[in-house]
Structure formats: structure tokens, C-alpha cells
Amino acid sequence: MAGEHLMPTYARQAVGFAQGEGAWLTDTDGKRYLDAIAGIAVCNLGHAHPGVTAAITRQAATLLHTSNVYRIPLQEQAADALCAVSGMEKVFFCNSGAEANEAAIKIARLYGHKRDIAVPTIIVMEGAFHGRTMATLTATGNRKVQAGFEPLVQGFVRAPYNDLEAVRQIAKHNREVVAVLVEPVQGEGGVVIPSDDYLAGLRAICDEHGWLLMLDEIQTGNGRLGTYFAYQQQGVQPDVVTTAKGLGNGVPVGACLARGKAADIFAPGNHGSTFGGNPLACAAALAVIEALQKEGVMARVPALSARIAGGLREHLAGEPGVTEVRNKGMMIGVVLDRPCGVLVARAKDAGLLINVTADKVIRLLPPLVFTDADADLLVAKLSALVREFLAEPVAA
């Protein structure tokens, strides 16, 4: 059987794709699918984006890799571009989201040790997802991700998400806290949207105690919520931001951005990566940052989000099995009253790619290049599938 030499780390859908264009994918049998998941928030500009394709094609024919022991002009340019769009000051490039968070965690620990804190501790949230390496799975607030991998890493304490009072209580009793690591919207956790004052509230608590505010924008960043980063809608500037997913539109690249007291923590020898920020990855990132800004893609996000979420609310009105439709930019969650993982395969059979997370939440992460017609098709197909599913007797 094909794939028998792959470690079974994923319960894969029985489909493979040969080609993509914009919001559409074609499988190896020639069948077309509307992609409402974008490789899990990666292909924000859609598949085979002409600007990104041209940049990486040109770069592949010029220079792929040298080493971080040399200057990398494209990496310097990508850092300039990221700082310009984010208000941050320094960038460390890596290859994935988990690595970006590892860099943030190491910055927090060094920051703590420089302030003579013996066990630098990071506050992380219930329901959080930060990655699959040992430190980031420890930071993740989901026992399923951690089970079997004990001993976990020390130096984390957990608070409920969207609960400022819980963080204030930790501050009262724990003198070792150095940072808060938090997602502006929880993605894997089920498209959980905190109240509008949450990030500003965390910023105030961090300022009061000299902690670093570290935002995991691996999923929320790179235009997905309609601004380059989510915090830019909240009037908040973090000390550290991590991103990856959409940064290369499919080329693996991650980044840890820092400013102020977090900007100059790392010195030579403290951290590194062989591939991180190589010329190919940085050519992709530069093309993505440019395309997101030039083409007004981000400006369309609020209207698209409202069209999809509004359409779903309308089509699913009066369905008692639908608990809630929540949306923030191009992160849309349809919360059902029962586990609904089977919908992923049914949607695929109907030519629609979606995701289910946190058991009961249909998660939509469409590329930002969705047309209005794509949005309407998504609403029509998904609401029909959901209605049909909810009409079935609940399995005992």
C-alpha cells in the first residue's frame, strides 16, 4: 500500500492533490475541490500565487543556501520588511512555528536569568496550541498532545484563556514569572475569540510586573485576520511575536520578532538554525509580505469574513445542533453540540476541504483570495452537509 513507509503521525484523508490555483485544488484523478483550509492557514495568498512563484523560481535558479555564518542580504531585507509591517525591531528566522516558539521561550528564559530569576516561568493558557517539540507541547494546553511524552519541560504555569483575573492571581503568588505566551485567537483550540480588551489587559499586567508579552501569531498572522498581525487591531504592541504558517505561503519559514527589552537578549552562540532564513525562504517571505500589502488582499478580509459567517448563520438558523458560528477575519468556527470529525471526509467527497478541531468545531481557514462566489459556494455546501449530519440519529 502506498505510504506504508511513512510513520502514521496523521490520520490522513484518502486524497492527494496534483495541482492548485488560487482557492482551488485538483486531485490526482482530476477532481476539483474548493479549499477552505489553505493547508491549515498556510496558503493565505492561495495556491500557485504568481508573485510568490516568480520570486522562488528566480531565487532557486540563483542561490538556494549559503549559511548563517555569512551575511544573507535577502534575510536582512525580509527582516526589514517584517519589522516595517509589525512595529517590531529584531527578527530571528527559523523553519516552522514550533521553532519560532522555541526561540521565544529561550528569549524569555535568558531574560529571566539576566534578572536573577532562578526558574524563569512562562504563563500559558488552557486550550492553547504552540507546537509539537518538547517545550512547545508542554506549553500547549491539551493533554492529548502531551500524553506519553513525559517528563514535560519545567517552567510553565497555566491560566484559563480570556481570564485576566486568573493571570493577576498568578502574579500575586508566583515571583518567577517572566513572560506570558498567548494566541490572539486560539486556532487548534477551536477558533476561540477572546474579549476585545484581553490583549490590552495582558499588556498592562506584563508592564506592571516587567514580564514579556509574547504573542503566538503563527496562525493569526500574515494577514489572516485582516491586518498583518492580530495585535494591530487591539492597540497593543507585544515584546515578542512568533509567526510561520502563512509567512512563506507554502515555503517553510518561521520567525521570532522582538522589540525593546526583548530585542537584544540573544548574543552569538545563544541560538541558531542551519536552514533558518536561507535565501529561498526569505525570497518567499518577501514576496508574501509585498503581495499582502500591494494587492489589497487584507482589506477584503472583514467583508469576506462577514459574508461567510453571516451566510452560515442564516442557512443554519433554527438548527438546535449548531451552538454558535464564530468568526474573526478568515478564522471561522462552526460549533456543533456533538463530535463532527466525520464531516471532513464527507465535505471532501462533496469537493470541499474543511477541518474539524476540538472535536465539535468545524474550522474554516480559507485563503484570503476567496472570491464572493467561492464564499457563497462554501456556505451552501457546508450548511447542506451540516443540516444533513444533524438530522441523523446521534450514535449511542
For the annotated catalytic residues, the residue numbers are 129, 216, 245
- Minimum separation from the CB atom of position 98 to ligand PLP (A): 3
- Minimum separation from the CB atom of position 335 to ligand PLP (A): 18
Is residue 216 close enough to count as binding ligand PLP by CB under 6 A?
yes
Q: Other CB atoms closer than 10 Å to residue 13's CB: what's the count?
A: 12
- Minimum separation from the CB atom of position 250 to ligand PLP (A): 12
Q: Which of 216, 239 has the CB closer to ligand PLP? A: 216
Question: Judged by CB under 6 A, which stretch of 96-104, 115-123, 193-201, 341-349 contacts ligand PLP?
Answer: 96-104
For β-strands 331-336 and 361-364, DSSP reports them as antiparallel
Is residue 201 close enough to count as binding ligand PLP by CB under 6 A?
no
The one-letter amino acid code at 39 reads G
Is residue 222 close enough to count as binding ligand PLP by CB under 6 A?
no
Rounded Cα–Cα distance for residues 168 and 201 (Å)? 10
Interface with ligand PLP (CB under 6 A), residue total 15
Question: Judged by CB under 6 A, which stretch of 13-21, 46-54, 212-220, 329-337 contacts ligand PLP?
Answer: 212-220
CA distances from 46 to 55, 186, 345 (A): 15, 22, 22
Cα pseudo-dihedral 55, 57, 61, 62, rounded to 10: 10
CA distances from 204 to 144, 211, 222, 258 (A): 32, 10, 25, 18
Which of 183, 231, 250, 344 contacts ligand PLP by CB under 6 A? 183
Is residue 98 close enough to count as binding ligand PLP by CB under 6 A?
yes
Is residue 249 close enough to count as binding ligand PLP by CB under 6 A?
no
Contact partners, residue 201, CB within 8 Å, separation at least 6: 164
User: What's the half-sphere exposure (Cβ side, CA atoms, 13 Å) at 184?
Assistant: 33
CA neighbor of 355 nearest in space, from 37, 26, 24, 16: 37
Q: Which of 121, 219 has the CB closer to ligand PLP? A: 219
Is residue 102 close enough to count as binding ligand PLP by CB under 6 A?
no
Residues between 346 and 375 that touch ligand PLP (CB under 6 A): none
Q: Give contact residues for ligand PLP (rule: CB under 6 A).
A: 96-98, 101, 129-131, 183, 187-188, 216, 218-219, 244-245
